[in-house]
Homo-oligomer: A and B are copies of this chain.
Amino acid sequence: MKLFLNQEWQAANALRFDLTNMFVDAIGTAGIKEQEVETNKKAALEAEDSLKQKRPQLAWRDLPYGQTAVVSEIVAFADKARHKFTNFVVLGIGGSALGPLAVQQALNHLYYNELPKNLRDGRPRLYVIDNADPERFAALLDLMDPAETLFNVITKSGSTSETMSQFMLVRALLKERLGDKYYEHLVATTDSKGGSLVKIARQEGYRLFYIPEGVGGRFSELCPVGLLPAAMTGIDIEELLAGAAFMDQWIESKPLAQNPAYLLALLQILAYRKGNNISVLMPYADSLKYIADWYAQLWAESLGKRNDLTGKEVCVGQTPVKALGVTDQHSQVQLYTEGPFDKVITFLRVEEFRREVKIPTDFVELTNLAFLGGHSLNELMDAEQRATAYALTKAGRLNNTIILPRVNPFTVGQLLYLFEVETAFAGELLQVDAFNQPGVEEGKNATYALLGRPGFEQKKVELTSGAQKSARYVLSV
């Protein structure tokens, strides 16, 4: 049996949550009163009911379970492809990029792409091209031979402008370089229903993986969107899914007061309603840095809504801020400690790092250095996280800590799934649709207009008249 299926091992690798410093008795007036939790219990129970009722429509909830066949396919494909290609390039943006980046940073070597091939066990380098910047695209091509590269085009709709532009570029390049065999360097991950990418992929014979219906971009890391890139670089995707399943069962089995997803969401929303419009996620580990980027999309796009479920204009949403410990103690913590009472800080603390580095005993006559000697960087990281939480608490600032016993696919799977359910639950509490993004349509249409897409001529006129107004407050030398 695989180790991660062992119950004792799972218990030793379960996340833990310290929510003490969210409450009034730890931080004073800015804190939440237990009574406020009580008062909102009814709303929380309704949210729970509502989420339970919606579950059949929320296909991402079942990703930890329903993928035995596709996981086998991905593993089989990756086992073969891994050694055939030097580079694996994801062309994707938003949910198609942030998950793969977060998981790669968490679970592989921190300088993975720069390691010589033998230290990567022959696995391909991983690049995620999540922008339309011409300098970035050209720079990527400076780096690699397309003939040694497998490109994974990821877009649910099959028509995301940035991703499909890159796809068109790469396809032309591969055709030029490889002739008829170009299609062997392309893998598509997309909706199975009639998008442009699925049509092209079928016609031209690319390997195809499907994004299940009902799995939106920002909830897609645990489907082939994230699983294929992870498998390509040797990450145990079954363990990742086992972690998510473990968290799902935890969430489904506990009442509000012991439920990490529901209680975190409730405390966050209570804090938001008291004027904390900023949610900082601050991992104390370089490996978890991009978990904060992934979370930022999930939280912002799901909860930032003009209208509530009844259509009433509400303009709600907490702004996620990504920070990194200890680095941002020297950048953001001054503001967090002394600035306005407008934020909640969530720390991610790692108990056991995968490497230990001891600081040598030295400079015994210099008191501001001597005390460091004999400690490890591990101890320093741990002390700094505790010290920062302590200082924030003393300054009366809302904070809480999610503890990862270690960083492995099982704990990362838990964390991703936790945040997904927390976000969905927060959507219920705010009474908004956490699964759409109507606010980006206007910008998309304006882009189409500016690029002369047929059907958007009227929008172009509107834009051009707007541009005239903008001569008004222009400063130049």
In contact, B14 and A476 (Cβ under 8 angstroms): yes
State whether the Cβ of A146 lies closer than 8 Å to any Cβ in chain B: no
**Contact at B390–A286, with CB atoms within 8 Å?**
no
In the complex the two chains form, is A451's CB within 8 Å of B372's CB?
A: yes
Q: How many copies does the complex hold?
A: 2
Q: Check: A395 CB closer than 8 A to any chain B CB.
A: yes
A169 contacts across to B, CB distance below 8 A: 357, 359-360, 377
Interface residue A375 (Cβ < 8 Å from any Cβ of B) = yes
In contact, B301 and A331 (Cβ under 8 angstroms): yes
Pick from B324, B336, B439: contact of A337, CB below 8 A: B439
Tell me if A439 and B334 are in contact (CB < 8 A).
Answer: yes
17 contacts between A and B (CB under 8 A): A19-B473, A25-B469, A111-B143, A131-B327, A159-B368, A164-B372, A304-B337, A304-B339, A306-B337, A333-B439, A338-B439, A371-B452, A371-B454, A380-B447, A387-B447, A390-B463, A391-B440
Q: Is the CB of B296 within 8 A of A159?
A: no
Considering only residues 133-165 of chain A, those with a C-beta below 8 Å from chain B are 133-140, 142-143, 159-162, 164-165
Contact of A286 among B133, B164, B343, B378 (CB under 8 A): B133
Query: Is the CB–CB distance between B474 and A330 below 8 Å?
Result: no
Tell me, yes or no, whether A263 is within 8 Å of chain B by CB. Answer: yes
A356 touches B159 (CB 8 A): no
Which of A206-214, A236-244, A315-323 forms part of the interface with chain B? A315-323
Neighbouring B residues of A260 by C-beta, 8 Å: 475
B142–A381 CB distance below 8 A:
no
Query: CB-CB < 8 A to A337: which residues of B?
Result: 304, 306, 439-440, 442-443
Interface residues of A in 218-269 (CB under 8 A from B): 250, 258-260, 263
Instruction: Write out the residue numbers on chain B whose beta carbons fall within 8 Å of the beta carbon of A134.
Output: 353, 355-357, 376-378, 381
Contacting A353 at CB < 8 Å: which of B22, B135, B315, B388? B135
Asked if A338 contacts B306 (CB within 8 A), the reply is yes
Mark A283-303 against chain B: 1 for CB-CB distance below 8 A, else 0. Answer: 001110000010011001101
Q: For A377, list chain B residues within 8 Å (CB).
A: 132-134, 137, 165, 169
- Given A196-B368, A330-B94, CB of A162 within 8 Å of CB of B380: yes
Q: Once bound together, how far apart are the Cα atoms of A395 and B333, in whole Å?
A: 32
CB of B332 within 8 A of CB of A136, answer no
Q: Is A437 an interface residue (CB 8 A)?
A: yes
CB distance from A108 to the nearest CB of B (A): 10
